[in-house]
Copies of this chain bind each other. A is one copy, B any other.
Amino acid sequence: MISFPFTIHATEGAARTGVLQTPRGTIRTPAFMPVGTAATVKALTMDQVRATGADVILANTYHLMLRPGGERLQRLGGVHRFGGWSGPILTDSGGFQVWSLAGLRKLTEEGVVFRSHLDGSRHQLTPEHAMWLQAEAIGADIVMQLDECTRFGSPHREAETSMELSLRWARRCRDAFGERPAQTLFGIVQGSVFEDLRKRSAEGLREIGFGGYAIGGLAVGEGHAAMCDTLDVTVPHLPGERPRYLMGVGKPLDLVAGVLRGVDMFDCVLPTRAGRHGQAWTWDGPVNLKNARFAEDQDPLDPQVPCPASQDYSKAYLHHLVKCDEILGQVLLSWHNIAFYQHLMATLRDAIAGGTLHALARDLTTRWAGQASSPRAEPAP
């Protein structure tokens, strides 16, 4: 297994900052990966994404296997060339999206058979096919194992059965992935909110050996506190020298909480999705640009965020664009939100390096209290 060199430059408590070196470029950690679902970070050009400071983006195997399709994507030279992103790309396995297709999927030991949400066509995703799709067709730099995302609220027995299936699939993914000189494979810890299952899952994955370890099955409705508790009982079982990736998370205070607990990588559709719906995250908290109080507000969204969308347009203009359903409103708010997330991550990295992360986290928790839905950013003392 190729493990990309991962160097930790500084730590503060469980938190750490460093760099993950990939053949396509350096990822500064903790890192937030904008989600480029269908080979596009929605509403943005890759140049705009790059200018926010994003080192790596995520692409969704489920969406890409349906459109343009794996074989076509392979003929087109993979998603770097197709989408115009020369830096590293991480792909999910498609498992999470298929899992959300309630009623349209059937799970077996072999894999999952599902019907496309687009045209009802029948598809199969197995550990082996997920490896081919990500490593060969899409050409991802960081490939995720196929897993089953255990539903939140599962009883222990169900969570255990599901976790064990994911672990058997992890082995098959590792075997199918083979030896690749410039790509790496991450395993995914499952086990819902149960400490014993998370521990067994982590140990099973370490035994197989992966280039990095993701924490799956969160951001599925468990809430901020349960997410924190699960991180508290999961992270200690992951190898310290490999990157840790908290999948699908989250709101700004969720990221802070993850960083405090030693997470190195995050992804979430929130900044782009919120941006398309008129919402912006700023250092002063979230704002909804539809609100009439912005109609004559000449201030920019957030002058601290180094992005044209954050600095060069008045809230009055953004309010107008949102009210008029103008595409530019969706573009600028998506762009700002991605830039804010990158600025937040850069600030967290600097804080770890300077030994001020816990003070910053306390400040942000106070500052965003009641505005963000996440009630708890700091780990239990």
Contact = CB atoms under 8 A, between A and B. Distances in A.
A331 B327 contact: yes
A68 B295 contact: yes
Interface in A279-336: 295-296, 298, 308, 312-314, 316-317, 320-321, 323-324, 326-328, 330-332
B84 A331 contact: no
A110 to B, nearest CB: 29
Contact of A67 (B77, B84, B323): B323
A326 B334 CA distance: 13
A117 interface: no
A43 interface: yes
A44 B320 contact: no
Interface in A324-372: 324, 326-328, 330-332
Given A295-B68, A323-B67, A316 B82 contact: yes
A314 B83 CA distance: 9
A327 B326 contact: no
A326 B296 CA distance: 31
A122 interface: no
Nearest to A312: B84
A63 to B, nearest CB: 8
Most chain B beta-carbon neighbours within 10 Å: one of A68, A77, A308: A68
Interface residues of A, number: 37
A45 interface: yes
B328 A330 contact: no
13 contacts: A38-B321, A42-B328, A45-B308, A45-B331, A45-B332, A72-B296, A76-B296, A76-B314, A77-B298, A82-B320, A84-B312, A84-B313, A84-B317
A216 B112 CA distance: 63
Interface string A167-203: 0000000000000000000000000000000000000
Contacts of A312: 84
A128 B43 CA distance: 41
A47 interface: yes
A77 to B, nearest CB: 8
Contact of A42 (B68, B326, B332): B326
Copies in the complex: 2
A294 to B, nearest CB: 11
Contacts of A38: 320-321, 324, 326
Given A45-B308, A82-B317, A327-B331, 4 more contacts: A42-B327, A42-B328, A47-B308, A77-B298
A65 to B, nearest CB: 13
B320 A68 contact: yes
A7 to B, nearest CB: 33
B67 A320 contact: yes
Given A72-B296, A296-B76, A320-B39, A44 B328 contact: yes
Nearest to A69: B295
Given A67-B323, A317-B82, A328 B45 contact: yes
Q: Which of A39, A40, A42, A47 has the most CB of B within 10 A?
A: A40
